[in-house]
Amino acid sequence: MKKVILTGDRPTGKLHLGHYVGSLKKRVELQNSGLYDMYVMIADEQALADNARNPQKIRDSLLEVALDYLAVGIDPSKTTIFIQSQIPALYELTFHYSGFVHLGRLQRIPTLKQEIKERGFEKELPISWLTYPISQCADITAFGAHLVPVGQDQAPVVEIDREIVRAFNRQYGDILVEPEAVVPDGFAKRLPGLYGIDDKMSKSLDNAIYLSDSPEEVAAKVMKMYTDADHIRVEDAGKVEGNVVFIYLDVFAETAEQKTKVAELKEQYQKGGLGDVAVKKYLIEVLESVLAPIRQRRAEYEQDLDKVRAILRDGSAKADAVANQTLQKVREAIGLNYLEQ
């Protein structure tokens, strides 16, 4: 049996380059290896967990995220793409798992603490937000996922999911598969935003390049990126470390030719005599080599949204059947089959 991979994204907006290098790119590689049974989920309920009073934002983002998936090369003939809310078994599994984790443990997850602060939830924390890691455990275990490719910040959430699985299995036997997070290396695991390495790329900080940005938007954003604050005149020697333009070049240059060119630019920049604009122009070229094919595939699917909806409908039907099997096993393990003869 092939190993199972499951991963997902909250539909709160279009996906950006941080999502791409942090997770989407890896998913496409894993998908194309043919070694795995892969599920990709649009986590609309998890997005509603902190947007209960703004559901329109989630509805508006749902197809955008699906388009981003298809655009980067997630292929519905190889990967099951589905919508979380269309799989009722996930709600029930969440409830069954809730007894296997306690409040203090959820409150101690570093990612959750950070997210609570970012959302201003310190005083009024929605229960749905506090408990999203439990629902995420349902997402993962419903499909028997072994591997969960996520950005670095989600690794502690997968860790708690592992604990829930172990606690459940200790009680009921070997029912659930214990998942493992797959996290990228280097700056890819937390791509900085356009204006410095302290902030990660994020929609809320307005420092992102979106997969759906036009070439003009990409170029304008790159031109606004921060470089080395001390590199004032072209002749000055510049710093490459901590310079987001060079960090992006390192992350996105893929071909041998691009890598050689980046090495040359770095050397010249550090010596002095290379202006920021020249480096940025090259970054635009490198980013376009990544983004142009994505943009083109997105445009094709945008022409046929009925087809996109059909992909999601088929994927959700398939996911529903698989999740129901797990749910039946769980109900039986707990012993809820009182009325069966």
| 136 vs 326, beta carbon nearer ligand TRP | 136
The yes or no reply on residue 9 touching ligand TRP (CB under 6 A) is yes
| 72 vs 249, beta carbon nearer ligand TRP | 72
| 72 vs 253, beta carbon nearer ligand TRP | 72
CB of 318 to ligand TRP, least distance (A): 17
Tell me how far apart the alpha carbons of residues 170 and 165 are, in angstroms, rounded to a whole number. Answer: 8
Q: At what angle do helices 55-72 and 276-302 cross, to 10 degrees?
A: 100
CB of 110 to ligand TRP, least distance (A): 14
Is 229 within 8 Å of 276 (Cβ atoms)? Answer: no
| 24 vs 283, beta carbon nearer ligand TRP | 24
Residue 73 structure tokens: 């090369």
Bridge pairing between strands 36-42 and 3-9: parallel
CB of 192 to ligand TRP, least distance (A): 18
CB of 132 to ligand TRP, least distance (A): 7
Selection from 206, 216, 210 nearest residue 71 by Cα: 210
Q: Using the rule CB under 6 A, which residue among 4, 5, 7, 301 binds ligand TRP?
A: 7
Is 85 within 8 Å of 56 (Cβ atoms)? Answer: no
CB of 136 to ligand TRP, least distance (A): 4
Residue 219 structure tokens: 């170029």
Q: Which 255-274 positions form the footprint of ligand TRP (CB under 6 A)?
A: none
The yes or no reply on residue 10 touching ligand TRP (CB under 6 A) is yes
Longest dimension (CA), the chain: 85
What DSSP element (H or E) covers 36? Answer: strand 36-42
CB of 33 to ligand TRP, least distance (A): 19
CB of 42 to ligand TRP, least distance (A): 9
Q: Using the rule CB under 6 A, which residue among 28, 38, 43, 65 binds ligand TRP?
A: 43
The residue behind tokens 């439990």 is 134
Q: Which 131-190 positions form the footprint of ligand TRP (CB under 6 A)?
A: 136, 139-140, 148, 150, 154
| 7 vs 243, beta carbon nearer ligand TRP | 7
In 49-173, DSSP assigns E strands to: 79-83, 147-149
Residue 108 structure tokens: 């101690």
CB of 138 to ligand TRP, least distance (A): 9
Size of interface with ligand TRP, in residues (CB under 6 A): 13
| 148 vs 333, beta carbon nearer ligand TRP | 148
Selection from 118, 92, 125 nearest residue 12 by Cα: 118
Is 212 within 8 Å of 179 (Cβ atoms)? Answer: no
DSSP track, 209-252: -BTT--HHHHHHHHHT----TT--STTS----TT-HHHHHHHHH
| 21 vs 225, beta carbon nearer ligand TRP | 21
> Can you give the binding site for ligand TRP, defined by CB under 6 A?
6-10, 43, 46, 136, 139-140, 148, 150, 154
